[in-house]
Amino acid sequence: MPASLVMGKQPRAIIIAIGVGTYRDEQVPVIKYASHDAAVMAEYLHTIGSVPRERIRILLDRQGVQREFEETFTQWLRKRADAETVLYVYFSGRAVVDSSTGEVLLMPYDGRLVDPEHLYPLSRLQALVSQLPIQRTIFMLDASLDPSPGADVTAMPSPDWPSGMDEQRKDVEMWMVGNRSLQEANVYDREKHSLFTYYLLRGLQGVADLDRDEMVMAGELCLYARGQVARAAREQFGNKQDPLCVPPIGRGAMIRIHPIAKGNNPKPVRTENILEEPSTDSTGPAKSPILVGP
């Protein structure tokens, strides 16, 4: 577990962690470590911010049915949220990309690939959260993405991630998306985590403190995980996994400097690279801004 952030105790914070890796429909491929990742992430965030247990909701596998998704965001969260709330939402599992619109639909335990009505639109989740008087929200999504059944993947639009959903809230929402493209997210069997979640957890232990000011900011955490995942996917798995950070560097959004963990980065930092995003140029491999961690 990471060290608690004494100066950043968050008694009004709320943590929602959802991990669905097995499904009622046995034809849906299993997502390895999804429920484990959600449970560990919730414990990390609880430890860092001393968040009260009664303000934490964890839905794992069979608990993560569509009805519980809806109840969590329409009732449970609404009863607890106020103007001082910092909300952390973590999801690990599978999602479907609509072949016509690019809309991202999360798959509950009782979801079906062939039936959009049994999936949970990411846009609905964001809309419900945006209606609440919340100070800021950190979303962390670690999903394997499938196309709609029967879709022509060569003609499909790109997944519609939050960068185009609600520009009015870019100062109060941070999105950390582990996999922006249609593919299975990499898993790190040696550490028994998905690759993206593993580096989020490593970052929360302190090594994402890229400027070594003894504080891990939300923007630093996503930038660290993005660079490490791009490097590890290329070097260890021989493929490409390109995480997404919204808002990106340069938008001036205050949410990027939200303190999220205690910094502890003992390795030298090439300061000239701190503000570089990994390259998304399809003609060459993604570049990691800094190589820290395992």
- Find, among 250, 240, 242, the residue nearest to 219 by Cα: 250
Mention every residue, 6+ apart, whose C-beta is less than 8 A from residue 7: none
CATH number at residue 135: 3.40.50.1460
H or E segment and range at residue 219: helix 218-236
In-domain check, residue 286: no
pTM for this prediction: 0.88
In-domain check, residue 124: yes
Number of domains observed in the structure of the chain: 1
In-domain check, residue 85: yes
Instruction: Kindly state the DSSP code that residue 132 receives in the 8-state scheme.
Output: S
Q: Which residue has the higher pLDDT, 119 or 9?
A: 119
Residue 84 pLDDT level (bands cut at 50, 70, 90): very high
In-domain check, residue 165: yes
- For 226-235, how does the pLDDT look when each residue is reduced to its tens digit (9 = 90+)? 999 999 999 9
In-domain check, residue 164: yes
Mention every residue, 6+ apart, whose C-beta is less than 8 A from residue 54: none
In-domain check, residue 171: yes
Task: For residues 220 and 256, give the distance between their C-alpha atoms in angstroms, rounded to a whole number.
Answer: 8
CA separation, residue 249 to residues 97, 110, 141, 201, 288 (Å): 26, 38, 19, 22, 15
In-domain check, residue 284: no
65-96 exposure pattern, b = at least 16 Cβ within 10 A, e = fewer: bbebbeebbeeebeeebeeebbbbbbbbbbbb
- For 6-50, how does the pLDDT look when each residue is reduced to its tens digit (9 = 90+)? 767 888 999 999 999 999 999 999 999 999 999 999 999 999 999
Task: For residues 215 and 88, give the distance between their C-alpha atoms in angstroms, rounded to a whole number.
Answer: 18
In-domain check, residue 290: no
Which domain range does residue 114 map to? Answer: 6-273
